[in-house]
């Protein structure tokens, strides 16, 4: 069979028969847990993993579980929140120990580590100091809180907070408040409106999150600089 023949066959395949993208396969895998008796445990573990490395947000399973058992919607939100905050702590631990591992390698004169650290010092030292200062101040709390509530990848901020040694207690508080606000908002909508609200959440939830954060920041600005 020639290359052209193979291309012709590929074009005639039903799109449903083509192998879906890996993210779509993960998405479908997450949804399958909604029909499992271990759905709540899966929700906890997925929320935990998503806060440091897993690409599919736990909202997918949270919505499916809450629709299936609306009376347990807030219980699912609590499970999701706890799992996500604990996962954020794990992400922080990963980021923090990246620095510690680098220090260890540097102290034991591993050539490749020395070359890497010297390169980092030469090219990124100033940027690191600036970012470190940001994460040590209130902007770090805002960054974690915004990432925890909006579709901005929360995992990026959990690891970065650890790398830049953000104070741990403010990190936990910002994570807990923002993650709980997000997941309880989803569960509240499901509990009140049921399955019909799912389409609205899928279509407009991310936009509403950004609008809410923008209004919150504007409100803080008005209180601080106007009154």
pLDDT along the chain (227 residues), means of 10: 46 50 74 87 95 87 90 95 96 83 63 57 54 68 86 86 88 94 92 81 68 62 52
Rounded CA-CA distance 156/172 in Å is: 15
Joined together, the tokens standing for residue 112 give 């490749």
199-203: Cβ within 8 A, 24+ apart: 201/63
At 201, list the tokens: 């959440």
The model's pTM is 0.71
Distance CA 49, CA 88 (A): 9
Give the model's pLDDT for residue 15. Answer: 47
At 46 the pLDDT is 94
In 33-189, which ranges are E strands?
Answer: none
Cα(174)–Cα(166) distance, rounded to whole angstroms? 12
Question: Which pLDDT score is estimated for 99?
Answer: 63
pLDDT at residue 16, as a whole number: 46
């Amino acid at each position: 069979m020639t290359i052209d023949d193979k291309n012709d066959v590929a074009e005639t395949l039903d799109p449903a028969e083509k192998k879906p993208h890996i993210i779509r396969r993960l998405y479908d895998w997450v949804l399958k847990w909604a029909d499992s008796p271990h759905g709540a445990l899966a929700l906890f573990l997925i929320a935990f993993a998503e806060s440091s490395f897993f690409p599919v947000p736990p909202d997918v399973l949270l919505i499916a579980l809450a629709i299936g058992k609306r009376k347990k919607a807030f219980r699912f939100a609590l499970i999701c929140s706890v799992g996500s905050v604990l996962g954020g702590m794990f992400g922080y631990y990963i980021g923090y120990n990246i620095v510690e591992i680098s220090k260890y390698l540097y102290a034991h004169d591993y050539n490749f580590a020395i070359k890497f650290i010297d390169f980092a010092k030469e090219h990124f030292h100033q940027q690191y100091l600036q970012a470190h200062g940001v994460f040590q101040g209130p902007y770090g709390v805002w960054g974690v809180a915004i990432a925890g509530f909006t579709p901005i990848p929360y995992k990026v901020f959990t690891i970065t907070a650890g790398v830049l040694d953000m104070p741990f207690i403010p990190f936990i508080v910002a994570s807990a408040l923002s993650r709980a606000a997000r997941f309880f908002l989803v569960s509240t909508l499901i509990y009140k409106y049921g399955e019909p609200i799912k389409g609205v959440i899928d279509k407009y939830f991310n936009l509403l999150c950004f609008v809410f954060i923008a209004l919150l920041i504007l409100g803080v600005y008005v209180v601080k600089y106007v009154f």
